[in-house]
Amino acid sequence: MLTRLAFFFTEAIRSVMTNLATSIAAVVAMTVSLVVLGLFFAVLLGVNSLAKDVEESAARVKVFLADTATEGEVNQLREAMEADERIGGVIYVSKDDALKRAEDLFGDKSDILENLPVNPFPASLEGDVVDTTRISEVAATFEERPGVYSVEYGGERSEAVISFARWVQWTSLVLASVLLLASTILVSNTIRLSIFARRREIEVMKLVGASNSFVRVPFMIEGFLFGFLGAIGAVAMLGGLAMLLQRFIVEQLSLVALPADLMANVALTVLAVGVVLGSLGSGVTIRRFLRV
């Protein structure tokens, strides 16, 4: 079994080197297609993450406590929120915790908070609303309670951001699907040219009694190599673009860096799509020449 598999790989590599021009064309076509696909997938993942964060923020009511609030008022307010069936969970955020959140938000520029004479951030009680359509109703319930400074929630802005994020999600998904189909056709046609250039070789193999699987496997391995090399090139290009974008975001816009798991997911997806496209593209295309 291993001997036969080694033979198939040897034949595939020999074919790639013999038909170097068409092989390079197939790899380049695969790389370009996967780079664009990877960009769309990165946008889709980023928007999904943004929508999730906004939804979590929109579903949270923040009851800010007045500095003059007594311990009894805070406890009564917390008990009232915990007893409210519309709220799933309640947490207490102290003034120190609020300041720490602000420092984390400012990141490298958090030193501007060190010169403040007093901590300006109020303590708060935060509750996650079970039904976001009732969030304004829940907020109004606690606005006039003793010890309350103000009540905030996501409101209409969050709803607008969520609606826009969902629109971008569906648009990116549709465009990515169309692009995936176009990439499949492009890669399939490129591989078809490679196979067509060797149709005589296939005919000879069939005449001497080679089975369809014996003929097909080297071509599928060849397609796998096209897909793998194209995916590696695409991942390298996407990685370079991500580094440039991250430098611009962090240094020029002073925003948070791109999440590492986002780029890892994009890279793994591009590799998987490249390998599948190359292998299946070759396997499906050669069926015509084998007349199966």
* Residue 183 structure tokens: 């990439």
Return phi, psi of residue 118, to 5°: -140, 165
* Residue 119 structure tokens: 């901590």
- Measured torsion, CA atoms of residues 45, 49, 50, 53, in degrees rounded to the nearest 10: 170
CA dist 182 and 195 (Å) reads 20
pLDDT score, position 16? 72
Report yes or no: 216 and 290 within 8 Å, Cβ to Cβ. Answer: yes
Mapped onto helix, strand or coil, the DSSP state of residue 98 is: helix
Q: List the domain boundaries for the chain.
A: 2-54+159-290, 59-155
Please enumerate, as own/partner, the contacts of 253-258 that have beta carbons within 8 Å and a separation of 24 or more. 254/107, 254/108, 254/109, 256/107
CA dist 258 and 245 (Å) reads 9
* Residue 19 structure tokens: 């038909």
- Between the CA of residue 285 and those of 16, 223, 290, what are the distances in Å? 17, 10, 9
Mapped onto helix, strand or coil, the DSSP state of residue 255 is: coil
pLDDT score, position 214? 76
pLDDT score, position 259? 61
CA dist 143 and 169 (Å) reads 35
Report yes or no: 30 and 226 within 8 Å, Cβ to Cβ. Answer: yes
**List of residues 6+ apart from 227 with CB closer than 8 A:** 30, 187, 274, 275, 276, 277, 278, 279, 281
pLDDT score, position 108? 60
pLDDT score, position 209? 76
Q: Is the CATH number 3.30.70.3040 carried by domain 59-155?
A: yes
User: One digit per residue, pLDDT tens: the chain, 292 residues?
Assistant: 667 777 777 777 777 777 777 778 778 878 888 888 888 777 777 777 766 776 666 678 888 988 888 888 889 999 998 888 888 888 898 888 888 887 777 666 656 666 667 788 888 888 888 877 777 888 888 888 888 888 888 665 666 766 776 787 788 778 777 877 776 777 677 667 767 776 777 777 777 777 777 777 777 888 888 888 888 988 888 888 877 776 665 554 444 445 667 778 888 888 888 888 887 777 777 776 666 4
pLDDT score, position 2? 67
pLDDT score, position 110? 57
Return phi, psi of residue 90, to 5°: -130, 135
